Amino acid sequence: MKNKKVIVTGGLGFIGSHIVERLNDNNEVLIIDDQSTGKIENIKHLDFSKIDTTLGDITKINLEEIFEGTDYVFHHAAKISVPESLEDPLTSNEVNITGTLKILEAAKNMDIKKVVLASSSAVYGDTESLPLNEENPLNPLSPYAATKAAGELYCNVFSKAYGLPTVALRYFNVFGPRQDPNSQYAAVIPQFIDKMLKDKRPIIYGDGKQSRDFISVKQIVDANILAAESKENGTFNIGLGKSTTINQLFEIINDVIGKDMEPIYEKERPGDIKHSLADIQKAKSIGFEPKGDFKDYLKETVEWFIENS
Ligand SMILES: NC(=O)c1ccc[n+]([C@@H]2O[C@H](COP(=O)([O-])OP(=O)(O)OC[C@H]3O[C@@H](n4cnc5c(N)ncnc54)[C@H](O)[C@@H]3O)[C@@H](O)[C@H]2O)c1
């Protein structure tokens, strides 16, 4: 993508900051972020002459004014914590559903070329039928997952009813540099790396045979750009199409950081799903084919944690 004006909502967050980083050299990038979980620090290494930042809440600011002359909107701002959504579903609804609706409405009115929404494999819930493809029934098990499903539906409606090009990308388990290991609800990869680098044994809940489809944030950025530039609308799984058990993941990280640690096994957590795996056939229609090697991406992530701890 070159010489475009793009907006990245949630651009100070983990995934959004990687989209900003990739597009920074050849495009004009505007970030909208309320800094609720995102940090300026995430983009401090970038060339600020081509980045503009609006520090505000997507549900409150005048989006149309900001969207004027924009080509693409990568919509990543959201309340992302599942446990927090269970405690406070109204806030999840306000930011993730009303916020998305406001983005779509402003995009429609300002003739945006395409909106790419960050959705989640959480919309599938827990199911035995793997790999998950886009035809699987939706079975959200949390308010967070329900907000993502609603966001997808609104994207579809705006494409069909108003002709606004939209794509919703269902991300599986994303990892990479700048992912927060410290929040109470941190994802497994940053948690393991952070602990193991400090010689602390990480906890595996259950027998470790549960599996996930882990995908690098760099591959997620590839998918976003392909989705924006493709003629396709609709919903697409974005994963690696391969699953890794938590035990295997632990051993790979041991290997990458050159240690021989043992995990601590604790009781399975209620609500944790057993397996997750993406069918990525449909994403091929937007040109998505995951590039690179899982272990190399893990190495790069470990290196970032070493440099930044
Ligand atoms: N990380 C994953 O594995 C994963 C998986 C599936 C989907 N997603 C989706 O990807 C997107 C990005 O997630 P992330 O992991 O980078 O999380 P993150 O918390 O790092 O990023 C979210 C960003 O949105 C901003 N934000 C939150 N509410 C806002 C509001 N009202 N107005 C403006 N900005 C606001 C935050 O400050 C933050 O910078 C989210 O939509 C999330 O649901 C992430």
CA of 13 to the centre of ligand 1 (A): 6
5-174+215-239: CATH topology is: Rossmann fold (3.40.50)
CA of 95 to the centre of ligand 1 (A): 10
CA of 253 to the centre of ligand 1 (A): 25
* Beta carbons within 10 angstroms of residue 143's beta carbon: 22
- pLDDT category of residue 184 using cuts at 50, 70 and 90: low
For residues 250-266, average pLDDT: 96
CA of 77 to the centre of ligand 1 (A): 5
By the 8 A CB rule, do 126 and 139 touch? yes
Q: What's the pLDDT score for residue 147? A: 98
Q: What's the pLDDT score for residue 309? A: 82
Residue nearest to atom 31 of ligand 1 (CA): 57
CA of 80 to the centre of ligand 1 (A): 6
Ligand 1 cavity residues, CB under 6 Å: 10, 12-16, 32-38, 57-59, 76-80, 95, 99, 118, 120, 171, 173-174, 187
Q: What's the pLDDT score for residue 285? A: 96
Is a pLDDT exceeding 80 seen at residue 293? yes
Is a pLDDT exceeding 90 seen at residue 13? yes
E-strand stretches of the chain: 5-9, 28-33, 51-55, 72-75, 114-120, 166-171, 173-175, 203-205, 211-212, 214-216, 234-238, 244-245, 264-266
Which atom of ligand 1 sits closest to the CA of residue 59? Answer: 31
- DSSP structure string for 28-61: EEEEEE--SS--GGGGTTS-GGGEEEEES-TTTS
By the 8 A CB rule, do 161 and 152 touch? no
Substitution candidate for ligand 1 out of 42, 76, 148 with most atoms within 8 A of CB: 76
Is a pLDDT exceeding 80 seen at residue 271? no
pLDDT (tens digit per residue) in 97-139: 999 999 999 999 999 999 999 999 999 999 888 999 999 999 9
For residues 2-6, average pLDDT: 97
The residues annotated as belonging to the active site are 144
φ, ψ for residue 134, nearest 5 deg: -65, -15
By the 8 A CB rule, do 277 and 131 touch? yes
Q: Which of 85-89, 145-149, 183-187, 221-225 has the lowest mean pLDDT?
A: 183-187
- pTM for this entry: 0.97
**Cα angle for residues 95, 185, 266 (degrees, 5° grid):** 150
Substitution candidate for ligand 1 out of 7, 14, 88 with most atoms within 8 A of CB: 14
Residue nearest to atom 43 of ligand 1 (CA): 80
Q: Is 284 helix (H, G, I), strand (E, B) or coil?
A: helix
pLDDT (tens digit per residue) in 42-100: 999 998 888 999 999 999 999 999 999 999 999 999 999 999 999 999 999 999 999 99
